[in-house]
Structure 1
Amino acid sequence: MQYLEGQCLCGAVKVTATAADEPKLRACNCVMCRRHNSAAFVTVEVDQDSIKIEGPVKVFRSSEWAQRAFCETCGSTLWYGLVHDGSRHLAAGLFDNAAGGTLVEEYFSDQCPQGYAFAGDHKRLTREETYALFAPGEGEAQ
């Protein structure tokens, strides 16, 4: 198990959590993630019960089933969360070297902008496959 310490851009929000010795990264190319981050949103898998966050956090309910959080001072993205279970998927950018993680999965891979793409051998799910996995019947709402 690995202990992670991270922070937002201005340092007002501090984040700690534990992760596997080889943390897994996941990237999302959906329209909301790209609008919120100006690119794909990359998360690091952590033990949900270990997450501790201190500082000025603002939470935005982005859809019926999801919320996004950011630092109220500098605007840094902190997490994407699911309303039904309270899970938080922490932004990999909060941690040095993205917590040393490896990209294992990419969502909405068919919506990845032409100007960039993730290299490597990882699972790539299309829009349809992503919705089937997380929100069957939800349509465009994320």
Structure 2
Amino acid sequence: MSNVSIAKGSCLCGAVSISTTSMSEDVTACHCSMCRKWGGGPLLVVECESGVSFSGEENIGLYQSSQWAERGFCKQCGSHLFYKLKQNNQYFMPVGLFDSCEGLVFDHQVFIDEKPKYYCFANETKNLTGAEVFAQFAPPE
């Protein structure tokens, strides 16, 4: 994973600000049914490991979307802030939250087997099925 120096961003209303020094330059699209239901389409994220800090934390709402992950959102404007793996505090943050997208490359799609036929991306990407994603990230049961 390549890193940018410091990435900063915020939710739509500015009640929550984000800063990270561990933002990947790789953009991933998630096509799982939960992400599509959460945002109305694929979720475009960058991995930020655990090195994320927030200001305005009192405005962050949490939704436990599975046994191993939670989703954060701004309680004021509803902006999606993160998908976080609870086991290691690994953040996947919507790329649109960040002030700069310079140097970012869209190069992964996950849950490609759940992608509906009504849209597609033209980029050549690495594609993983849901089973392949779970094999990489889900903790053993």
Task: Return the TM-score normalized by structure 2.
Answer: 0.85
In structure 1, the residue matched to 2:127 is 124
Equivalent of 2:87, from 81, 84, 88? 84
CA contact (8 A) 1:17 1:47 kept: no
Q: CA deviation at 1:118?
A: 2.0
User: Which secondary structure state, in structure 1, belongs to the residue aligned with residue 133 of structure 2?
Assistant: helix
Distance 2:123 2:93 in 1: 22
Distance 1:106 1:74 in 2: 27
Distance 1:28 1:62 in 2: 15
Q: Supply the RMSD in Å over aligned alpha carbons.
A: 2.1
Q: Could you list the structure 1 runs, at least 4 aligned residues long, displaced by more than 6 angstroms after superposition.
A: none
Task: Return the TM-score normalized by structure 1.
Answer: 0.84
In structure 2, the residue matched to 1:59 is 62
Equivalent of 1:23, from 22, 25, 33? 25
User: Which secondary structure state, in structure 2, belongs to the residue aligned with residue 124 of structure 1?
Assistant: strand
CA contact (8 A) 2:71 2:84 kept: yes
In structure 2, the residue matched to 1:8 is 11
What letter matches 1:73 in structure 2? Q
User: Which secondary structure state, in structure 2, belongs to the residue aligned with residue 35 of structure 1?
Assistant: helix
Paired residues, number? 136
Distance 2:5 2:135 in 1: 32
CA contact (8 A) 2:45 2:95 kept: yes
Unaligned runs of 5+ in 1: none
- Percent identity at matched positions? 37
Q: CA deviation at 1:19?
A: 4.3
Once the two structures are superposed, residues 106-133 of structure 1 have per-residue CA deviations (whole angstroms, 9 ceiling, x without a partner) of 1111211222112212100112222222
CA contact (8 A) 2:31 2:42 kept: yes
User: Which secondary structure state, in structure 1, belongs to the residue aligned with residue 21 of structure 2?
Assistant: strand
User: Which secondary structure state, in structure 1, belongs to the residue aligned with residue 78 of structure 2?
Assistant: coil
Unaligned runs of 5+ in 2: none
